[in-house]
Amino acid sequence: MSASTLKKIDNKLEQLSPDGVRYKLLVALRMFRSSWVELGRLLTEVAYGGDYKDWGYDDFEIYSARELGLKKPTVNKLMISYRYMQKKEPERLTSHEDWDGTGAPPEVPDYQTVELLHKANENDNIDNEQKQRFHQLAFDEHAEEGILRKEIRDAIVTATDGNMSEERARSRELGDIKRTCYVLRKKLADSRCVPMGLRERFEVLLSEIEAFE
């Protein structure tokens, strides 16, 4: 976060009541480097509560960009990461939110790591055992996050590419079957020994194959 951005935040803080959500959100933004959880909570609260409209903004994305200097992808990651913790680590989240500001806040992974955990958790092609392992490495074993994020990304890419390869193979097989059917249709049309009723039944079958995706 640049010095100019910090100065802008400080100037805005001087104009607001310390008791308001808007003030607290800006303070959380200032603490972003050391703790993203409070920022994720307040962003989620404001996004769904619509407070930004009372502050003169018609759109949450515009508010985030203009007042907080946060781009949409970052905001989305923060909110997704916060919701992941609500679902997967409610007790740890509560202890973090109850932190009184003295000493270091309870340790949690970086929001970028948690957002990747969410993506892995939503991917049906990654088995549950691997998802649980990633979660444990992040929250319990405090694995080196750069390495862990690469491992999670690789797992997501592998799962996605594997699924795409399966779809391509299925599409190729269907294409081969249809082409074979078209060759057979032509042979049947030229044949003098195949009864008309059989040709008609084949056309019905071909229609069903053509409709199959």
| 73 assigned to some structural domain | yes
**What is the pLDDT, as a whole number, of residue 160?**
75
Average model confidence (pLDDT) across the chain:
85
Higher pLDDT: 23 or 163? It is 23
Residue 165 has pLDDT above 70, yes or no: no
pLDDT surpasses 60 at 5:
yes
Q: What is the pLDDT of residue 166?
A: 66
55 in a domain, yes or no?
yes
Segments in the chain forming alpha helices (H): 3-13, 21-30, 37-49, 51-54, 60-67, 72-88, 90-97, 111-122, 128-139, 145-190, 196-211
- 70 or 97: which carries more pLDDT confidence? 70
Q: Which residue has the higher pLDDT, 63 or 207?
A: 63
34 vs 28, residue with greater confidence: 28
Q: How confident is the model at residue 131 (pLDDT cuts 50, 70, 90)?
A: very high
The 10s digit of each residue's pLDDT in 77-97 is 999 999 999 999 999 888 877
Domain assignment present for 77: yes
Tokens 């913790």 label which residue?
Answer: 85
User: What pLDDT, on the 0 to 100 scale, is given for residue 50?
Assistant: 93
Sign of CA dihedral 151, 33, 48, 50: negative
* CA atoms within a 13 Å half-sphere pointing along the CA-CB vector of 33: 4
Tell whether 2 is covered by a domain. yes
Q: What is the C-alpha to C-alpha distance for residues 56 and 158, in angstroms, rounded to an integer? A: 45
How many domains does the chain contain in total?
A: 1
Strands (DSSP E) contained in the chain are none
Residue range(s) defining the domain that contains residue 88? 1-106
Interatomic CA distance for residues 77 and 32, integer angstroms: 13
158, part of any domain: no
The yes-or-no verdict on residue 34 having pLDDT over 60 is no
Structural domain includes residue 80:
yes
Q: Tell me whether residue 34 is in a domain.
A: yes
Quote the pLDDT of residue 104: 60
Supply the pLDDT for residue 4: 61
Give a yes or no: residue 196 inside a domain: no
- The per-residue pLDDT for 138 is 92
